[in-house]
Structure 1
């Protein structure tokens, strides 16, 4: 949708929009950082940012523009993309033994440079992606644009999100501080001379993630967990002579020392296969990248088709490359190695930024295989230096891991930038202002993500065998790749290769299912992540997927019966699809709030852990009470989401209200 051309441009890059974007982005960045380290999963913040910004901006200031709202969303979600790129890779520096501890400045500078690379490399592609490629639908951009246009709901549109934030925060506080609700309910039994484990993490945030990613993805995660915990562990663990009270510990120890490496092997295959599957998009994305570098023939452009000056963009890329060289020189102490690494990073970042933008256009930001691209970058970097006959020492391992940090951060930021530029194109925004806002957000939030990661690493531990440690599965992949390639450590290679074989078998099985048109698919990466994660973590994700499934089913059934409660009752029949969508939209809004509230309290709980204070204050053994509280919370989410479906069913039989949207 193009904005009307006039002598006066609409308000867009205003102080209020920038302040609101940073305020909401700070909360979302902290929440996504914690969630990604906790579960290895991260939901795109674009739609939650659109929902929250739209609600807040209508409450705080009634007279505002659609473009101010859009720009606030751009800034708010820029930190989330940066955080995902950092937490998927940076902890590997410690897990691999290359670094003893995460350094604030090293992580911050790598995040800044990688994020700026990602934004700058997408700018030349903007016209190719958003105007000249009609096959790119940008599904999440379309959803965000619809949320922004529907912002007339005012105060009531914000109430569910705020209640959900409060509910998620209170529930997590009852766990982390009061100790009233236990974090995990688990048990193990000896059956037929084998040990079988079962458990569930009582996390509303994980339920929310499962609801957002939907049942198909959540069920694949549970399938992976079942393979590891209910098949592999009973085959490997020997419970002979182990007391019943120690069977849980035996299962966890077997998973930690052996079985999780099967998941890592399968994840490596999944990451590489995601790149193979995206080969067409990769070719088109790289072609679009080179096309975007060509000078435009038409000099005069509309406001909605203007980028930052190309000279400034190319100068920025050159300066960022120079800064990357200086940073690497400081990190590894070798100017020649730093120069070679900086050149490789520049080539990889530009290529994968184009790929990222194209894939986001096809599948959405939530399906962008950034970890797969970072794994590919790791292998390509290693291949370059193996061909050059370089010594595979600790300094080269550090450069390979830093290259993964740069590429993962840049591709995540590039995909987010492309998504918001597409949203802006639908709303009539000014691309150059969005690009400037994205750069501001990336630079500012880089110095927020680093201290959060460092705090969580010191408060909980990341990727260790401690039961309370954050699992960070993607970082574990890069750490074990470095250990294997550069001999910086040792790990059970037999289990790793078993995982590779399982991953390859899943690829073949999924290809067969696709060839015969089956609706059921065996995507490798979610199954592999489920194999790596604790089983108790996969269960609430599956519960969330089930909750979303039953929400849609109940909404359709209620709409089918009509607003009066009887099938075929008077009035025009309401649409089951619209009722199901309204119920899901409300559930996604509630899930976003719960994720934010629980994650922020989880982040806050890292402070006393880091300081050495004893939390929770009490530690009662109350699994039944905890399950009851957990169940009541799920029932509340179900009931409140169903109200939206009921309202939709009733409104469809009434005359449509006059349109009222944010003005431009």
Structure 2
């Protein structure tokens, strides 16, 4: 392979020759694991409410630096930069697993099955560990050999956070070993990170808690361009991601959104306005009555399938393009395997290039596959286990590479899950496996494990990139994220079930709902370990302590859903779940919070659609053809497909961040013209811009504020409502008092600050360039 010019002058913050610095020690590992559980829980809440999560690595890194700095002032030992890296590595696992769990597992209830503890827990454990193990052989190929080409924006930003917050011991070790940092630069970087964090945190707090401005200002166009729309999410984290990934990828992503919202949706609206009946896959609404976004909208009914097809095709094309790099990484992993035990590997390779032994990796994957095949709660078979291996490796590879191009925040894991379910259900259909029990659960288990594996594979890549920059030891990081993933997987299942149960409403069945002679037969009851499943009513206001049998009604009479029936077979209660339920008021008049789980709804529709032969393949194939046309035009289709799949409001702030980076780089390149630098050296100089530090702060502050607001909304709803009421009454900037576009003014302030920070005109003392 050709020599990578970016690696020629690269040196990590802590040299490979430094072997005495503390790294994988108990306290940082425990702290990181606990933070991973906390962030995993908050991310699970977010994905159930809105179908999205935020990357946890940078917020965890910021918390780690702050926590250990406070402990050092109390007389305890401060953490080294490598220990902070272990904290963020273990802490990031919870968020990635939470996304996969929230996207797939609620679909089990929508498909008519119970949300069982062991089913959710086993999917989370298997997917989380599998994604990490499959990523390990790819580390050298993607993280090291592609350094400079794959940016890994969150991983790079997290490394800047850790370097800016490095303690005196770490800085001294780095200065003595490499002479690459100065006190002025470290202090200046910490200042910029801190300002960015404060601005991002304050921005989202004022917006989400006090409703000082609208979070997604937008404009729907009227005639003659009816159906067209443009919107932008006021999110400093997305602005920061756009700045870090740069203008090219940000522009391609936004182009996908522009195609969806400025071409496809207006076309569908125009041609469908006069159609007098619903157009498949819509069943109830006419196109002229559909909204542009939201439930039963043009975007969710048509564009989502087109985007899923484009993402699937783009991922497969990206895989084939990456085959030389992937094969090189696999060969390196096999070479490690041949070297023998880990001690031999440590003697042959520098500390910063040592992975877990391939014996452990291969053995772990085989062990997981055996467990997946034999655990009855997954309703898995040999074919399902084989599909998990194939799709798992495919999408872990695609996810790991894609996070390097566009970042974790924009990584379309749900699109990869859609592709997995499409192909899995198609195989089942060809084999005639269309019965709901067990094949619906089998297909969803395949999709859930692959989804979590792909999500964790991308997260692991970002963490290993952070370690690559700061000089961490890969095998120690891999142990940390395996530990964090296992702990989070064990906890997220009960949390998901608790959230559902806490918002479940029991509705007494009216006498007229079913015919008087109607009785549920014993063969129709839900079985558990060979016996009819029994439950008690979890609603104290009903004062009913009796046990009832569980029945899923799919008959024509009565409302379909989950029921509790008595010993005579008479339905007594309709059980409306907390996730995807519709009844928000209990018998005593109290209200509950419902979770829409939009992505899980999509997954259930795909399984039902294919196995019932109702999937709109024409829309999926349109997306595939869009990806093919882009590749023929020389445009990377995967980044474009991401923009096509996501709402344009998400890609718009990323595009703005990319534009700011373009303007900053243009000015910097002009200043560097007289230094006779190569193109690679110019790119390296632009990556050193203080704007990257401020963008990192935006990501950290915005993400942490979003998570904290979500937690406060769930557990301190009364207090949060009081804040909103106060703002509505007394805040002159309240969102409801001004137009949508005035809400962009605070966002433009962040844009201007980012631009001038990139030019080193603010937030700087002495110049940090060398």
TM over 0.5: yes
Q: Distance in 1 between matches of 2:402 and 2:738?
A: 45
CA contact (8 A) 2:240 2:696 kept: no
> Are residues 1:433 and 2:473 paired?
no
Change (3 A) 1:203 1:447: farther
> Are residues 1:10 and 2:21 paired?
yes
Q: Report the equivalent of 2:541.
A: none
2:701 to 582, 586, 593: 593
Superposition deviation, residue 407 in structure 1? 0.8
Superposition deviation, residue 72 in structure 1? 1.7
Paired residues for 1:327-366 under 5 Å:
327=375, 329-332=376-379, 337-350=380-393, 352-353=395-396, 356-357=399-400
Of 7-16 and 623-632, the range deviating more from structure 2: 623-632
Change (3 A) 1:183 1:72: closer
1:301 to 337, 345, 365: 345
Superposition deviation, residue 437 in structure 1? 0.5
Q: Report the equivalent of 2:644.
A: 528
CA contact (8 A) 1:207 1:545 kept: no
Superposition deviation, residue 438 in structure 1? 0.7
Q: Report the equivalent of 1:139.
A: 151
Of 230-239 and 117-126, the range deviating more from structure 2: 230-239
Superposition deviation, residue 80 in structure 1? 2.7
Q: Report the equivalent of 2:313.
A: 273
> Are residues 1:224 and 2:265 paired?
no
CA contact (8 A) 1:20 1:72 kept: yes
Instruction: Deviation per CA, 1:20-58: give whole Å up to 9, x if none.
Output: 434654565456545656665656544565566556655
2:163 to 128, 149, 153: 149
Q: Distance in 2 between matches of 1:655 and 1:210?
A: 23
Superposition deviation, residue 226 in structure 1? 2.9
Q: Distance in 2 between matches of 1:596 and 1:407?
A: 27
- The TM-score, its normalising length taken from structure 2, stands at 0.65
Superposition deviation, residue 593 in structure 1? 1.4
CA contact (8 A) 2:68 2:79 kept: yes
Q: Report the equivalent of 1:377.
A: 420
Q: Distance in 2 between matches of 1:415 and 1:547?
A: 22
Q: Report the equivalent of 1:507.
A: 627
Change (3 A) 1:121 1:436: same
CA contact (8 A) 1:27 1:596 kept: no
Q: Report the equivalent of 2:536.
A: none
1:160 to 186, 192, 196: 196
Q: Report the equivalent of 2:333.
A: 292
CA contact (8 A) 1:264 1:477 kept: no
Change (3 A) 1:262 1:578: same
Q: Distance in 1 between matches of 2:723 and 2:437?
A: 38
Q: Report the equivalent of 1:487.
A: 612
> Are residues 1:90 and 2:129 paired?
no
Instruction: Deviation per CA, 1:364-411: give whole Å up to 9, x if none.
Output: 656766445434433443455455554544421211111011011112
1:120 to 102, 114, 133: 133
Change (3 A) 1:207 1:378: closer
- How large is the RMSD of aligned CA atoms in angstroms? 5.0
CA contact (8 A) 2:44 2:102 kept: yes
CA contact (8 A) 2:142 2:325 kept: no
Q: Report the equivalent of 1:553.
A: 663
Q: Distance in 2 between matches of 1:582 and 1:23?
A: 32
Change (3 A) 1:199 1:60: farther
Secondary structure at the counterpart of residue 139 of structure 1: coil
Q: Report the equivalent of 1:542.
A: 652
Superposition deviation, residue 269 in structure 1? 1.6
Instruction: Deviation per CA, 1:553-586: give whole Å up to 9, x if none.
Output: 3796699899xxxxx9xxxxxx997599423541
CA contact (8 A) 2:627 2:637 kept: no
CA contact (8 A) 1:209 1:541 kept: no
Of 419-428 and 439-448, the range deviating more from structure 2: 419-428
Q: Report the equivalent of 2:172.
A: none
Q: Select the structure of larger CA radius of gyration.
A: 2
CA contact (8 A) 1:456 1:606 kept: no
Of 502-511 and 4-13, the range deviating more from structure 2: 4-13
Superposition deviation, residue 6 in structure 1? 7.5
CA contact (8 A) 1:360 1:419 kept: yes
Secondary structure at the counterpart of residue 22 of structure 2: coil
Q: Report the equivalent of 1:565.
A: none
Secondary structure at the counterpart of residue 738 of structure 2: helix
CA contact (8 A) 1:165 1:594 kept: yes
CA contact (8 A) 1:185 1:202 kept: yes
Report the structure, 1 or 2, having the larger helix content: 1
Q: Distance in 2 between matches of 1:121 and 1:108?
A: 20
Q: Report the equivalent of 2:82.
A: 67
Q: Distance in 2 between matches of 1:190 and 1:172?
A: 29
